[in-house]
Amino acid sequence: MVNKKKYFYNLYKNIKNKKAVVGVVGVGYVGIQLLLQFKKKNIKTIGFDRDKIKLDKLIKGISPFSYISDKKIRSLKNQSFYTEKYENISLCDVIIICLPTPIKKNTKPDLSAIENTLKKIKKFIKKGQLIILESTTYPGTTRDIIGNNLKKFKLGEDLFLSYSPERENPGSAVPFNKVNKITSGYSKNCSILSELLYKKIVNSVEVAGSLEEAEMTKLLENIYRSVNIGLVNELKMICLAMKIDINKIIKLASTKPFGFSAFYPGPGVGGHCIPIDPYYLYWRAKKFGQEAKFIKIAGEINIKTTQWTIKNIAKIISKNKTTKRKKVLILGLAYKKNIEDIRESAGIKILQSLSKMKFVVDFSDPHVDRNDSLFKKLVGRSKNIDINKNIKNYDCVVLVTDHDAFNYKMIIKFSKILIDTRNRIYRKDNFFRL
């Protein structure tokens, strides 16, 4: 009996006395936060990532993340980072996988990052380790894609497996340790070990009854947002046709102290979670003979919202007969305010579509990484301009992402035509809210 439990007791002891080494695979916005939080508790960590440039910066104490200071990154100074030297996985007692889970062109789940990395680390996984997946994915992934690929182990006995959804929200004012963490386990002992680990870095841990419950919880959290944002975006289009201000309606509805949470219309939904997650559930539900119609339509409405926004911007500018070749300035390309992330961003889609029409389109965004090669490819010949000097040169200014850093007084004063897609500003003349 003792033999069967020796791995469990050994790992339990090491996690409890903070001797367990935590490996983080994928040092993105989720992984970096875990490294910082474990470091804060003097728990030894190892970071693995394929991005050598990013790791070199981290080792030099330079933050690759606009919302994390260099000073904070320097706290990781004697941190070990490896660019895919996966043999060092065997130095870890816990391995937390924080890899991207995008969708393919056909909107099917793309788990290639997890599958390919697992293939590389598999031979270095050893008895007595706890493996935790944090990536957002459909129910069944941890068991099927990870568990079923580690058959040489006795899961729950000599190898432990857990799923714990990431709740990292870059730029959020809520401190990491105050965000409850959901965790789970392939077996009871897996749950116990995972809960013990996360209790080192967050105040409260909720243990789900299964891996699938924990995976589904994350999808509910994010699809709830997708559906509610889709609702207000659809209502926005209806209200505009009825000459009703949707933002006033939301404000009035928000006076109800129960049964209503406010969401706000925008130019469409961006990011790595909200536009993507519904497709993970839609795809998985089909495997169980279920058609998630409502979820699918909400995602479609959010996509339609960006197309509707583009059409209306073009219409407003074309109506204005001042000059032939209209010059348009897009304010904010990140997918939401005060961060640099441009994934699935409405701003990029609007810039690209207007550029394909007869407009000259430039942008201003203080957060995006202008040297990022993907970013340069996405914006093409559009220039990132200093609005304080150049705003008057544009026939139309469109506020797409309402970063706090913008000088809104100046924007209101000097924009010829001003379009606001975020209900952030107002003026009487030559002003349109979409």
Name the site residues for ligand SAJ (rule: CB under 6 A).
166-169, 221-222, 225, 229, 263-264, 266, 269-271, 273-274, 335-336
Q: What is the four-CA torsion angle of 144, 147, 151, 154, rounded to 10 degrees?
A: -140
| CB nearer ligand SAJ, residue 46 or residue 339 | 339
The pair phi, psi for residue 134, each rounded to 5°, is -115, -15
CB of 269 to ligand SAJ, least distance (A): 4
Residue 346 CA to residue 342 CA, distance in Å, equals: 9
CA atoms within 13 A on the CB side of 121: 32
Q: What 3-state class would DSSP assign to 396?
A: strand
| CB nearer ligand SAJ, residue 153 or residue 335 | 335
Active-site entry in 92, 190, 239, 273: 273
CB of 137 to ligand SAJ, least distance (A): 12
Q: Which pair of tokens denotes residue 264?
A: 């706000």
Q: What 3-state class would DSSP assign to 362?
A: strand
CB of 333 to ligand SAJ, least distance (A): 11
Q: Which residues pair with 331 in a beta bridge?
A: 364, 399
| CB nearer ligand SAJ, residue 147 or residue 299 | 299
Annotation says 98 is catalytic: no
CB of 150 to ligand SAJ, least distance (A): 27
Q: What is the four-CA torsion angle of 170, 173, 176, 180, rounded to 10 degrees?
A: -110
Give the number of residues written for the chain.
Answer: 434
CB of 52 to ligand SAJ, least distance (A): 27
Our CA angle for 111, 63, 112, nearest 5°, is 10
| CB nearer ligand SAJ, residue 113 or residue 360 | 113
| CB nearer ligand SAJ, residue 157 or residue 221 | 221
Per-residue HEC secondary structure of 287-312 comes to: HCCCCCHHHHHHHHHHHHHHHHHHHH
| CB nearer ligand SAJ, residue 167 or residue 326 | 167
Residues whose CB is less than 8 angstroms from the CB of residue 374 and which lie 6 or more positions away in sequence, other chains included: none
User: How many Å from the N-terminal Cα to the C-terminal Cα in the chain?
Assistant: 67
Q: Which pair of tokens denotes residue 336?
A: 């939401």
Residues whose CB is less than 8 angstroms from the CB of residue 21 and which lie 6 or more positions away in sequence, other chains included: 44, 45, 46, 91, 92, 93, 94
CB of 125 to ligand SAJ, least distance (A): 27
Residues annotated as catalytic (active site), given as ranges: 273
